[in-house]
Amino acid sequence: MNIGEIARRAGVSRSTVSYALSGKRAVSEETRRRIQAVIDELGYRPNAAARALKEGRTRTLGLVIPPASLRLTDMQLGFVASVVEAAARVDLDVLLSPSGGDHDRSFERMISGRRVDGVILMEIRLEDERVDRLQQTGLPFVTIGHTANPHGTCWVDVDYATLISRCVHHLADLGHRQVALVNRSAELVASGYGPAQRALSGFTEATDQRGITGVHLCCADEASAGQSCMERLRDEHPAVTGIVTINEAALPGIHRALEQARVVVPRDLSITGVVARHWAEDFRPPLTAADVPMEMGTQAVELLLERISTPDAPPRHLLFTPPISLRATTGPAPVR
Amino acid sequence: MNIGEIARRAGVSRSTVSYALSGKRAVSEETRRRIQAVIDELGYRPNAAARALKEGRTRTLGLVIPPASLRLTDMQLGFVASVVEAAARVDLDVLLSPSGGDHDRSFERMISGRRVDGVILMEIRLEDERVDRLQQTGLPFVTIGHTANPHGTCWVDVDYATLISRCVHHLADLGHRQVALVNRSAELVASGYGPAQRALSGFTEATDQRGITGVHLCCADEASAGQSCMERLRDEHPAVTGIVTINEAALPGIHRALEQARVVVPRDLSITGVVARHWAEDFRPPLTAADVPMEMGTQAVELLLERISTPDAPPRHLLFTPPISLRATTGPAPVR
DNA sequence: TTGTAAGCGTTATCAA
DNA sequence: TTGATAACGCTTACAA
């Protein structure tokens, strides 16, 4: 089933069918209708490969996700979903590449095989060779998160430094004098993962500024890790009365540890941070937190489309600083 | 950067470059090396569209996921991850289509635009028009889950009926006389979603067989729904001492409700069911449950590859019946 | 208003 | 062992 077959049945040339479909040339109403009838009958649709070959574009966006072996966090999953949805809205397909930091066959296939018109990269590190590779090739791309050298590239990100800083200030305003940051995993921090790094710097800055004590803890993205992390914290730093976190996956474990220790939130301990709304609302009591906006995926797609249509425009950045939603996990520091 | 450019620089014809790459024709070691050097230098890779056009295959698998608006469950996410990973292992890319039940542009593009060599369909219903559509076109496909008429199609699934039945028998063996099934949402059940339907039939069959009382409850895929569902259950059916569920997202809410009601598991109430291992292990105490095998995505890819290479072979099915892992949430029925 | 034909980058057949 | 060439299905410049 190809355009020639449609043309034959409609008694016109192939170009007429093509023009009838694209509307790039006037086609008499009569023939247009005849062609459409044949197309509807046979359910014809142009072969994507032929079209891509001729047009030099694939109508496909590439999305580079963390390797499947690592369980994706809810936040990452939310990005994937919103990217796919935003792309579908403008009739673009999404090709997935599960690629970690090192060279990866699927990643290379995607970019040097010209399988996509542009790439969205998620979970990037401060130094990320995939970004370098993409810059070499000249393929338009947008990152979710940004590298250490962010000016030349196009990205969307959450302003973790500012948000975590605000969380600390919020706790300080409530009288807390010793607070802890429950960060992502030690490996992630060590590998230079942006959000973890910036959360830490915002935390340090704010605690310094307010002259309060800050404890930094790394914690794997799992409930059980959250639990042991919290147990260790209460053991080693019993004077901490406020927790700030960007590790949503640890929340259920944090909750469990507090419950078992009969700690009442927020009477005995305040908790806040930056997490997906879903996690904040599922916490008991509901978590006061800055809700990571899921539209970031949508924004990334928009930025990428801009970049594809005008590759020479200066790269744009979008830094989200969502408000902290006051729910129910922060309160005055307990009096001793 | 195309094959002609490589040929020119290596001083050979385009066909020689093609053969050097594919190995389908003998090429002298000398020229092969020269060609390879040029390729390595320029980072050449065949244009995917041109190759697809010529070969008639895209080296891409389509994966149809539920529309992004609905939050994917962890189980669904696990499938996506394992499909993508399995495909990457055999150098195939994965194109995503977020499509619900009705006709969907991205779905149609994928199948009638010949964008993929085969399709994996997830979250299918007992009557599913996407399956009909796929059968019309003759494009190879595999479903995760199966339709009411499963013989003509290729699928992998979990044997919910048997597993839920086993859970009920397990509870009955422990002396429970009134048990409840916490199913997926009412809409899902009403729309003929297979797992929900089969869980119910397995439940009914087993309760009938053991002569015990079964209560059926629908519950949305959310913690809060799980909580209210459990509160309602304890209110309306206080004599129920055993819970069986396939709704993993409801587990945190179930846990919360029990905790607030000071119900001790498994002393006062036993819980079991079919959920992803991760959820079972995160429950407190760890949940006795049949763990949904995440390799299902891998198996789906394998089945699909078979189907692509030998489309006329009789369709194969894989029905998983994983063992129930005894953890800590089931015990003898409480004595009155 | 419509048709003819070139060409996108490959692979594979046929010749040498 | 290698090269010339047709063909895959489409879009579009050029002709009519």
- Give the pLDDT mean for A141-162: 94
Q: Is B175 left (phi over 0), alpha (psi -120 to 50) or beta?
A: left
What helix, strand, coil percent values describe chain B, rounded to 5? 45, 20, 35
Above 70 in pLDDT, residue A118? Answer: yes
CB-based contacts with strand D under 7 Å?
A 2-4, 14-15, 18-19, 21-22, 24, 44, 46-47, 50-51, 53-55; B 11-16, 19, 25-28, 30-32, 50, 53-54, 56
Closest B-chain CA to A114: B47
Question: Please, which pLDDT band fits residue A335 given cuts at 50, 70 and 90?
Answer: confident
Question: Please, which pLDDT band fits residue B101 given cuts at 50, 70 and 90?
Answer: low
The CB-side HSE value for B169 (13 A sphere, CA atoms) comes to: 11
Q: What is the pLDDT of residues B314-334, one digit of tens each?
A: 999 999 999 999 999 999 999
Q: What is the pLDDT of residues A230-249, one digit of tens each?
A: 999 999 999 999 999 999 99
pLDDT at residue B102, as a whole number? 62
All residues at 6 or more sequence positions from B262 whose CB lies less than 8 Å from its CB, including other chains: none
Look at residues B34, B43, B279 and name the one whose alpha carbon lies nearest to residue A103: B43
A226, A163 Cβ separation under 8 angstroms: no
Above 80 in pLDDT, residue A303? Answer: yes
Q: What is the pLDDT of residues B162-196, one digit of tens each?
A: 999 999 999 999 999 999 999 999 998 998 899 99
- Give the pLDDT mean for B257-267: 95
Does B9 touch chain A if contact means CB atoms closer than 8 Å?
A: no
Query: Per mean pLDDT, which range of A109-118, B65-74, B143-152, B301-310 is the poorest?
Result: B65-74
Above 90 in pLDDT, residue B73? Answer: no
Q: Which residue is nearest to nucleotide C3 (CA to C1')?
A: A13
B235, B206 Cβ separation under 8 angstroms: no
What are the Cα distances from residue B165, in Å, to B168, B170, B240? 5, 9, 17
CA–C1' B53–D6 (A): 14
- The 3-class SS string of A128-140 reads CHHHHHHHHHCCC
pLDDT at residue B70, as a whole number? 65
Residues in A closer than 8 angstroms to B2, CB to CB, are none
Interface test with A, best of B72, B115, B265 (most A CBs within 10 A): B115
E strand or H helix that includes residue B251 = helix B251-260
Q: What is the pLDDT of residues A186-230, one digit of tens each?
A: 998 998 899 999 999 999 999 999 999 999 999 999 899 999 999
Which residue in the block uniquely carries the two structure tokens 């990320």?
A: A128
Q: What is the mean pLDDT of chain A?
A: 94
Please state whether beta strands A324-325 and A288-292 pair in parallel, antiparallel, or not at all (unpaired).
antiparallel
CB-based contact A84 B105, cutoff 8 Å = no
- Give the pLDDT mean for B128-151: 93
Of all residues in chain B, what percent carry a pLDDT higher than 70?
98
Of all residues in chain A, what percent carry a pLDDT higher than 70?
98
Does B68 touch chain A if contact means CB atoms closer than 8 Å?
A: yes
Does B109 touch chain A if contact means CB atoms closer than 8 Å?
A: yes
Q: How far apart are CA A199 and CA A249, in angstroms?
A: 16
Query: Which domains, and CATH codes, for chain B?
Result: 3-46 (1.10.260.40), 60-158+295-320 (3.40.50.2300), 160-293 (3.40.50.2300)
In this prediction the pTM is: 0.92
What are the Cα distances from residue A77, in Å, to A153, A297, B8, B76, B295? 23, 10, 46, 11, 19
Q: Which residue is nearest to nucleotide C6 (CA to C1')?
A: A54
- Give the pLDDT mean for B291-304: 93
Above 90 in pLDDT, residue A29? Answer: yes
CB-based contact A45 B109, cutoff 8 Å = yes
What are the Cα distances from residue A211, in Å, to A170, A204, B49, B145, B335? 14, 10, 60, 58, 58
pLDDT at residue B294, as a whole number? 83
All residues at 6 or more sequence positions from B117 whose CB lies less than 8 Å from its CB, including other chains: B57, B58, B59, B60, B61, B92, B140, B308
pLDDT at residue A70, as a whole number? 66
Question: Please, which pLDDT band fits residue A104 given cuts at 50, 70 and 90?
Answer: confident
Interface test with A, best of B40, B82, B83, B112 (most A CBs within 10 A): B112
Above 70 in pLDDT, residue A101? Answer: no
**Which nucleotide is closest to B29, CA to C1'?**
D1
CB-based contact A47 B114, cutoff 8 Å = yes
CA dihedral B6→B11→B17→B19, nearest 10 degrees, is 180
Supply B300's token pair. Answer: 């789906």
CB-based contact B45 A112, cutoff 8 Å = yes
CB-based contacts with strand C under 7 Å?
A 11-16, 19, 25-28, 30-32, 50, 53-54, 56; B 2-4, 14-15, 18-19, 21-22, 24-25, 44, 46-47, 50-51, 53-55
Question: Please, which pLDDT band fits residue A144 given cuts at 50, 70 and 90?
Answer: very high
Question: Please, which pLDDT band fits residue A60 given cuts at 50, 70 and 90?
Answer: very high
Above 90 in pLDDT, residue B234? Answer: yes
Question: Please, which pLDDT band fits residue A81 given cuts at 50, 70 and 90?
Answer: confident
- Give the pLDDT mean for B7-27: 95
Collect contacts of B1-6 with beta carbons under 8 A, ≥24 apart. B1/B42, B1/B43, B1/B44, B2/B44, B2/B47, B3/B44, B3/B46, B5/B42, B5/B44, B6/B35, B6/B38, B6/B39, B6/B42, B6/B44
Q: What is the pLDDT of residues B149-170, one digit of tens each?
A: 989 899 999 999 999 999 999 9
Supply B38's token pair. Answer: 């040029």
Q: How far apart are CA B155 and CA B316, in angstroms?
A: 7
Q: How far is B200 from chain A (nearest CA, A)?
A: 28
Look at residues A257, A239, A218 and name the one whose alpha carbon lies nearest to residue A333: A239
